[in-house]
């Protein structure tokens, strides 16, 4: 995943000083991944755009609370995740954290998942069908390659819970892809 690597350090100190060009660079770097994350959680284009905008505005307002400049990305996704949760609670009253996740453990290892063109729609459907907590963990893992600790911080969950969520999500994904491979028709 070469797109994830940042060759230049993020201009967070300049943004702290109120430099609009620094803010522009920061937002340009994260706007699409953030939108993907938000859209896949709320499944509504205009709501996603609103939430991204709210996230940006909150970031400008609360940058002072960010302690480590290197963690700007996970901090920004944390704000977006909170906004999605608020929206989710307002809309459906389904609590993000109350889906039972007990068995199963995330096993760290090489992530060689590749999706063929004919599997793309199935993959997207599967992502959409996952329960929100698993979906959020999977998206953060795939879209920005956040570490388990970072995902736990963003989603305000325990590390074990995040491992379990990712385990379930990836198992479901592999099942889907294997089933497609067995029955290509």
The residue (of 102 and 117) whose beta carbon lies closer to other proteins is 117
Closest CA to 43 of 2, 74, 87: 87
Question: Can you tell me which of 32, 70, 95, 128 binds other proteins, judged by CB under 8 A?
Answer: 32
Q: How far apart are CA 81 and CA 36, in angstroms?
A: 12
120 lies in the binding site for other proteins (CB under 8 A): yes
Are 33 and 24 spatial neighbours (Cβ–Cβ below 8 Å)?
A: no
Q: Which stretch, 40-48, 72-80, 97-105, 158-166, contacts other proteins (CB under 8 A)? A: 40-48
Are the C-beta atoms of 113 and 173 separated by less than 8 Å?
Answer: yes
Question: Tokens 């499944």 belong to which residue?
Answer: 43
Q: Does the footprint of other proteins cover residue 13 (CB under 8 A)?
A: no
Closest contact distance (angstroms) between CB of 77 and other proteins is 14
Selected binder of other proteins within 6, 49, 95, 158 (CB under 8 A): 49
Distances (CA, A) of 37 to 61, 79, 118, 142: 21, 12, 23, 10
Contact call for residue 147 and other proteins (CB under 8 A): no
Task: Select 47 or 160, whichever has its Cβ closest to other proteins.
Answer: 47
> If binding is defined by CB under 8 A, does position 103 make contact with other proteins?
no
- Encode burial over 72-100: b for 16+ CB neighbours within 10 A, e otherwise: bbbbbbbbbbbbbbebbeeeeeeebeeee
Contact residues for other proteins, defined by CB under 8 A:
1, 3-4, 18, 20, 23-24, 27-28, 31-33, 35-36, 39-40, 45, 48-49, 52-53, 56-57, 60, 113-117, 120, 123-124, 127, 139, 142-143, 145
């Amino acid at each position: 995943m070469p797109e994830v690597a940042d060759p230049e350090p993020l201009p967070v100190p300049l943004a702290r000083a109120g430099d609009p060009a620094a803010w522009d660079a920061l937002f340009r770097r994260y706007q699409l991944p953030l939108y993907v994350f938000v859209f896949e959680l709320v499944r509504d284009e205009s709501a996603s755009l609103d939430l991204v905008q709210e996230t940006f505005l909150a970031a400008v307002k609360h940058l002072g609370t960010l302690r480590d400049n290197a963690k700007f990305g996970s901090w920004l996704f944390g704000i977006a995740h909170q906004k999605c949760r608020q929206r989710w609670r307002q809309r459906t009253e389904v609590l993000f954290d109350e889906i039972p996740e007990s068995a199963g453990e995330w096993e760290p290892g090489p992530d060689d998942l590749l999706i063929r063109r004919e599997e793309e729609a199935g993959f997207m459907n599967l992502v959409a069908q996952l329960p929100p907590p698993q979906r959020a963990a999977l998206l953060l893992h795939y879209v920005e390659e956040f570490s388990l600790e970072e995902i736990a911080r963003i989603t305000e969950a325990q590390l074990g819970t995040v491992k379990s969520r990712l385990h379930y999500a990836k198992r479901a994904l592999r099942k889907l892809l294997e089933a497609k491979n067995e029955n290509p028709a």
